[in-house]
Every structure is written in structure tokens, then in C-alpha cells.
Structure 1
């Protein structure tokens, strides 16, 4: 069995609902279904890309997997252990194996601390390194992400956006994790800097054997870095496949529409543009059946009443009545 056939994290029927309250008594009248029943696996050593329109639940999924948000229902199995409902002491032992790189490289760094203190803080909390060993580890991590050891005494506001994101990556590496959830780590950066950060992430993966859940909305970036790609729509996964299969032959009508909008470098290339009608429905009041059916060009009567099953088709997964 190869390293990318060994499950690291298994997500089973994961849901995250936010209550909508009304009146003085704050009575719950409805729920915002940010994540509504996800099932997928992240394998050791791979990069799983997660894409979809803004508000589809990508970031909530990443935070729920790391237990930064408590799921409403479902299981998150990490190396055979269910993180959901785990007590604080047990969860803390596993925290160092799962880290996150946030979207905003400035807001995610404490402006009152120096860069050295920011990177050293996780080591102090988990008592991994102390004294000179800690200082040496901070210097090593700065060098690994392309900065210098003398940067440790500076504050975040003294760095550019790309440098701040490198500091965030160094902090994520401080505890020698297995899994890193990268929540749109390059979307706030200039295009010229994005490629540098993406290449850094790939180099670090090869160097340390990391596993990534890479969340983004830029389909070109996701294709470059990912091994497999999952497509989300309104809190649900609609397709999951190897990146070459997904980009060359998308099955779900939503995936087809997304990829038809990706610019191609050849000005003579002809591509059928699939324009989605209407707006994304509210996650507080999603359509019955397939949530995509009001905007789908291949909608059938069954789509309006029955939720499609998560079905395996030729080694990939898709939730669409066209393939059941």
C-alpha cells in the first residue's frame, strides 16, 4: 500500500449548523446549514483541494475538522480516533499533529509579539522545546520558510504580506504536524507572490511528509498543487476526483460550469461557456432535493424532490442523479 493510499483523516456525515434565533427568549426558529453531511477521506502525504463559491462551507469544513468549531453531527476520524466529543486533555495531545495556515497573514499574527515569540508560542504551550533549543528551532524554521534568523526580533507589521504568510507557515510547522489545513493561504497575496508561497508549500510537503487540505476558490492554483479535488456547493460535496480526471472530464453540472469559466492561455481555443442562472440559495433555506437544481442546466424532476446519493463512478465520487 502506497503512502497515498493510507487514510489519515476520515470525515463521516459531517454537519455544522448555526441556529437562527428570534424574540426575547432567543427561540431557535431555523438553522444555517453551513456544512450539511460530508463524507470523504484525506490520505497521508496527499494534497486534497477543496473548491467552491464563496459561502459554500469550505472554511467551516476545515475549522470543523480541526475542532476549532464543534460539529453539529458526524465524525472526524484521525488515525482511528474520533475527534468529535473527545475530552480536552485527549484532544490537546493530538493538536500538535494538526495545524492551520489562515487566509489573512496579518490578522492571524499577534501584533504585540515578535516573530520569534509567535513561532515559539506553540512550543511553549505543548512544552516541546525550551531555552536555547527553542531559540534554535525558531531560527531553523525561519530559514526553512525562506526568511533569516535575524527576523525573529521584528514585529509582523515590519513585513510584507508574502513574508507574513511565511511566518504563519513557520508557526504551523513549529510542532512538526502531519496535517495542515491551508485556508485560502494565497488569496490575499499579489499574484507574483502566490506562486512563491505555493512552491514553498510543495517543497515543505516533500521535505517533511506533510498532508494538506488546501482550501481555495482559484481553480488554477488548486490544479497546480492538489492531487485530488473536492467541489462543494451550499454545504455539500458534489464531486471528488483525481485532479486530472476532474479537470479533463468533470461529471457534475456544477463542476462543469465552474471549469468553463477558467481562463485558458490559448486565445484561439474554443470552449462552451456554461452560465449559471440566478444566485446561490440561502443556506438557511436550501432547496429540497439537490440543492443545485434551481441553477442546473440538466435538472430533472427527481432532482427537485430527492437528494442525490454520494455515488462512486469510475474511481471517483459524485452526487448527481445523472449517474445513479
Structure 2
């Protein structure tokens, strides 16, 4: 018998989800390897292999995993910097993978990127004024005066003084250069921003300042982020939900605190066990994985993690686990998810 009182209470406590801004369906991106002397067949690096997930409007979706897991490649596929070999990418329910170059240009200004290295993404021969004005030159017909006024507003918005608009990148600190990159990313009022290791090249104190700036801009401008990073504490602080990648595939997706407190995939548990925690009561024993991460050019059959998994069984060696919802809002690709660690089981 349905408990109407409980059902009504759950509806009050669980507000409806916001609309989906970005939807990825079975995305694949392979890169050809050069043939060697003893190599007859063409080999590929399977950087992204049948990945599906959604990003809701106004949220920050974090993406974590070891180096070489395919995080950055997936992010660049999402915003069109890499063309997907297979699969579909939807932005506001419009399939952008089906658009030609001219049609995609109209969508492109709605999707921007902040790169890891601000020095590498800023032309050293251009002043800040010119760097931030570049998007206006491509997408608008603003006058010189209008562009100057807009640049001044953007500099103030990202916490830089107007006097910095006449500076060259080498005259700025790393944090200031990244703020210029952020100003340029928000110049056209985009709806979606890919932050690809956007703070990993900065000092810890500067990281905190930039992360807080990104959070403030998200509230003020209604931005949606795909946030890719190695720093787990940074991801935990900024993200609403997190996806865990391993060898080109998503192995778990969950709300941030649920994932960090109760990982369901053995790889997630091992990855998070290495994360330093200030509170001694919340520290977990470090899980040491055996062996090296396999080559993405020749991933293992079945579950790709089975060669390093401490609980792998025979089925894991042959059958690929699907990414399925095992609890509300929680997806995991594992034949034997760690459900006994979940909040639902322990209560």
C-alpha cells in the first residue's frame, strides 16, 4: 500500500531536476597510431569509448580519473574541438554533431573553454585589451569604443583592474593570466563552459581564488560547467555531480558528497582513498591497486578495470558492465558494486 504522506514529503524534499543542457549519447573518439615495422593492422587509441551522460542547466559536472583516462578528450568532443567518431552530442536538445561548420558556428559562442595553461592559450604579442576583444571581432559588430567599455566591465568582473588591459601576458602572474582567460570565455555570455584543468597549473592559494571566482560567476551569469581536474578536493568543492572515468569509459556518476562518502565502483573507491582529508575521523585506508593502467590502444576485454580490481570475478573478464542506475541518481558500471558501503545500506 502506498504511503501518501511519505510520498508527498519526498516530493517536497526533492525538487524537480533542472532541464538538461548537454546530453552525450554513446560518444566515441579514437586516434590512429602510426604503424610500426612489425605492425600489420591499424591500431587506435580508444580515448573515449561509448560514453553517455547528462549535464543539467546551472550545475557543475566534475570529471575525474587517472592521466590517460580520456577526460580532456571527452570534454573537447562535447564542445566540438574534436569531432566524435560515433555517437551524438545534444545542446539544448539540438544535436550539434549533425550540424555543418556554418551551423555549428552559431552554437559555438554558447560553448566556451578555459584551458589548463593560460600562458599557452594567450598570444604573447597581444595586449589584454586585444585578447579579450577577439570574440567580439568574430561574433559581433561592436565599435571600438563599445569593445573597450565591455573589456573594462569584464576585467572588473573577474577581479582585475582596468589598467591591466594595456598589459601583455608576460607582465601578469599566472592567476591574473587565468582571469584574463576567464574574462574572454564569458565575453559572449555563453551558457556552457568547459574548464579543462583550469586551476591545476596555479598555486594552491591562487586555485582557491579562481575556484571562488568561477562559483560567483556561475551564480551571477547562470553558467553551466564541465569541470575536469586531477585535484579531488577541488572537484569536491566546486561540483554538484561527478563522473569517474577509467580507460575511456565512465564507471560511476553520482552526486558529489554521495560519491566521496560512499563510492560504489572499486576504481572510484581506490581513487578516492588517495585523497588527503583534514578530518582524521573521515580518513580512509589507502587502497593500493596492483599493476599499471593498461594501454588505451589495447584495453582488456570485459570490464576494463578487472586486471587491477581486488574483487574481480570470472564474469568481469568477459562481459562489459553497462552503466546503470543502481540507486536514485547513482549510476555505476560494475558487476559487483560496493552497495554495502552506501548510505542506504548502512542506515
Taking structure 1 as the reference length, what is the TM-score of the superposition? 0.96
| Cα distance in structure 1, aligned partners of 2:281 and 2:239 | 28
Match of 2:201 among 188, 204, 207: 188
Cα distance in 2 between the residues matched to 1:256 and 1:270: 12
Q: State the shift of 1:28 in Å.
A: 5.8
Residue 177 of structure 1, aligned match among 186, 190, 200 = 190
Tell me if structure 2 keeps the 8 A contact 1:21–1:28.
Answer: no
Change in Cα spacing, 1:23 to 1:208, as seen in structure 2 (3 Å) is same
* Residues 35 and 43 in structure 2, CA contact (< 8 A), matched pair in contact too: no
Deviations along 1:47-76, whole A, 9 cap, x unmatched? 000000011001101111111111111110
Rg comparison, structure with higher value: 2
Shift of 1:130: 2.6
Q: Which residue of 1 aligns with 2:238?
A: 225
Instruction: Decide whether the 8 Å contact of 2:302 with 2:319 is kept in 1.
Output: yes
Shift of 1:4: 4.9
Aligned to 2:144: 131
Q: Distance in 2 between matches of 1:42 and 1:146?
A: 28
The superposition leaves residues 254-284 of structure 1 with CA deviations (integer Å, 9 ceiling, x where unpaired) of: 0000111111213566522210111110000
User: Are 2:298 and 1:285 equivalent residues in the alignment?
Assistant: yes
Q: Which runs of 5+ in 1 are unaligned?
A: none
State the TM-score, normalized to the length of structure 2.
0.90
| 1:320 counterpart = 2:334 | yes
Secondary structure of 2:44's match? strand
4+ long deviations beyond 3 Å: 1-4, 266-270
CA separation of 1:28 and 1:147: change in aligned 2, threshold 3 A: farther
Task: Name structure 2 gaps, 5 residues minimum.
Answer: 1-13, 340-347
- Aligned-pair Cα RMSD in Å: 1.8
User: Hey, what's the Cα distance between the residues in 2 that align with 1:233 and 1:193?
Assistant: 29
Count of residues in Structure 1 that have an aligned counterpart in Structure 2: 323
Checking the alignment, whether the CA contact within 8 Å between 1:4 and 1:44 is kept in structure 2 is no
Partner residue, 1:120: 133
Structure 1 residues 224-303: aligned runs within 5 Å: 224-267=237-280, 271-303=284-316
